[in-house]
Structure 1
Amino acid sequence: MSTPAPSSPRPLAATAPRGGGGLHRFANPGRFLRLTDRLLPWLWALAVAVTGAGAAWALFFSPPDWQQGETVRIMYVHVPMAWLAMGGYAGLAVASLMSLIWRHPLADVAARELSPVGAMVTALCLATGSLWGRPMWGTWWAWDARMTSVLVLFFLWVGHAALVRAFDEEERGARAGAILALIGAINLPVIKWSVDWFNTLHQSASVTRISAPGMHVDMLYPLLVCALGFTLLFAALVLARVRAAVMEKRLRQMQLAQARRQEGAA
């Protein structure tokens, strides 16, 4: 008696589905794998080079702050991690929207692989903020609006990562995770404007004031280079995870097809 074939995973489309604009030309897994095969080595090399240059500039050539002294160097990790935590979640919301509306076949995979990386950078944001806050504010943690809203963001990242893996059917998990991600996006403007809406320990925006940034260029430029380097690392890591997930799914589909052929021949 032959053994039953394993349940089929949600297939990756071989052709681009309708709607959703030009992004669907990357829906073909073979095209995506060919593109990332050429792109990833260059992206990793550029990310390491820019991050190394930014770290050296921030640690050895940027001046200490006149009030915070050498402690200000935590900023060169903390601020980029905060930007990536929010920007990455915005990307998660976009991928979830594409999954729910246009059924983009790579959107579910991208969202699934993005959430662990997003949780990691948000955890680094919270950890470095705690390390920075202890000498500046005299406490490791204060339940002000920004810190609390970023903590909520961390729980949203972790919740999404757990939810999409909690179902036997990948499609159900992807749909539940997409709904959670879109609801959680409400937290992003709360984080951004919490320092203006509430009385918090955090200072108001100093980098994003284009007309008159509240930071000297000797600190601003290395911060921006560090942010670019960490962003490139983030993108390379997510792309590598998505590529590995696509290859794994294709391998499972090939194994399933082989099992069905063997069952049919038995």
Structure 2
Amino acid sequence: MWAFIHKLGSPKWFYAISARLQPWFWAAAALLLLVGSVWGLAFAPADYQQGNSFRIIYVHVPAAFLAQSIFVSMALAGLVFMVWKIKVADMAAAMMAPLGAAMTFIALFSGAVWGVPTWGTWWMWDARLTSMLILLFLYFGVIALRGAFASRDSASRAASVLAMVGVINIPIIKYSVDWWYTLHQPATFTVTSRPTMPVEMWLPLLIMVLGFYSFFIALTLMRTRSEILRRESTKRWVRDLAAEER
């Protein structure tokens, strides 16, 4: 196990193994998102209370899940970088941040659109919505810190610390509907309990969630590979790779 982790921390080895994994995740993302979106948007039954407006759930929920998961991944990568000085972890964390910010924005925007027919308003200072907005600001902070220092190491350490501290917001997002009075509905489905929706409605949602995660992994692998080439451009193995491609 430790030997695998040590190898994974090598930019050269990560670049090679990710080249083999990336096409599989792109294919899985394309297939899952196609099946899930067509099933959910066209064939899933309408909700008995919300009608067809509930179908935004097939974008809103996967985006919200992914927004939180990416920030946790960034915090873990930051911890690995700070403790074990593994450069690939920092590269991956840097590449995750823009996608995490985009997913958070999509979750907030789709939730606002959903809120109009459901709550009668675009926005309320609801505990879940407010904590998600804080998550967006945390993403912006991490991205800004990476460009605020002349030294790359200083920028990486500052961004890692903010991610590790800011991760405390994730359980607040998750449990906000239980801790405070909130208009936001509880979790649509969880690992430990049976879904409250019919299988014809939650199964395409599960497929969409898996599709979003596959897209995240594929995009992170692709962008991390590019970052490796940029940061390791002076290394011999990168020069040899460039020479082979010519």
1:252 positional shift: 5.0
* Alignment of structure 1 residues 1-266 onto 2, 5 Å: 22-208=4-190, 210-252=192-234
CA distance in structure 2 between the partners assigned to 1:229 and 1:217 by the alignment? 18
- After alignment, is 137-146 or 100-109 more displaced? 100-109
CA distance in structure 2 between the partners assigned to 1:21 and 1:83 by the alignment? 31
- Unaligned runs of 5+ residues in structure 1 are 1-19, 258-266
CA distance in structure 1 between the partners assigned to 2:211 and 2:187 by the alignment? 21
C-alpha distance 197-21 of structure 1, shift in aligned 2 (>3 A): farther
Once the two structures are superposed, residues 188-244 of structure 1 have per-residue CA deviations (whole angstroms, 9 ceiling, x without a partner) of 110000000001111122311644322111111000001101110111111111111
Q: Secondary structure at the match of 2:233?
A: helix
2:30 maps to a residue whose letter is V
C-alpha distance 252-137 of structure 1, shift in aligned 2 (>3 A): farther
CA distance in structure 2 between the partners assigned to 1:200 and 1:209 by the alignment? 22
1:117 positional shift: 0.8
1:208 maps to a residue whose letter is T
How many residue pairs were aligned? 237
1:231 maps to a residue whose letter is Y
CA distance in structure 1 between the partners assigned to 2:193 and 2:19 by the alignment? 41
C-alpha distance 59-173 of structure 1, shift in aligned 2 (>3 A): same
CA distance in structure 2 between the partners assigned to 1:205 and 1:30 by the alignment? 41
Match of 1:264 in 2: none
CA distance in structure 2 between the partners assigned to 1:92 and 1:209 by the alignment? 23
Q: Which has the higher helix share?
A: 2
CA distance in structure 2 between the partners assigned to 1:94 and 1:76 by the alignment? 28
Q: Secondary structure at the match of 1:106?
A: helix
Query: TM-score of the superposition, structure 2-length normalised?
Result: 0.92
CA distance in structure 2 between the partners assigned to 1:163 and 1:210 by the alignment? 37
CA distance in structure 1 between the partners assigned to 2:4 and 2:135 by the alignment? 30
Once the two structures are superposed, residues 63-115 of structure 1 have per-residue CA deviations (whole angstroms, 9 ceiling, x without a partner) of 11011111011000000011001111110110011011111121111111111
Query: TM-score of the superposition, structure 1-length normalised?
Result: 0.85
CA distance in structure 2 between the partners assigned to 1:179 and 1:137 by the alignment? 37
- Unaligned runs of 5+ residues in structure 2 are 240-246
2:133 maps to a residue whose letter is L
CA distance in structure 2 between the partners assigned to 1:77 and 1:211 by the alignment? 22
CA distance in structure 1 between the partners assigned to 2:23 and 2:32 by the alignment? 14
Name the % identity. Answer: 44
C-alpha distance 154-252 of structure 1, shift in aligned 2 (>3 A): farther
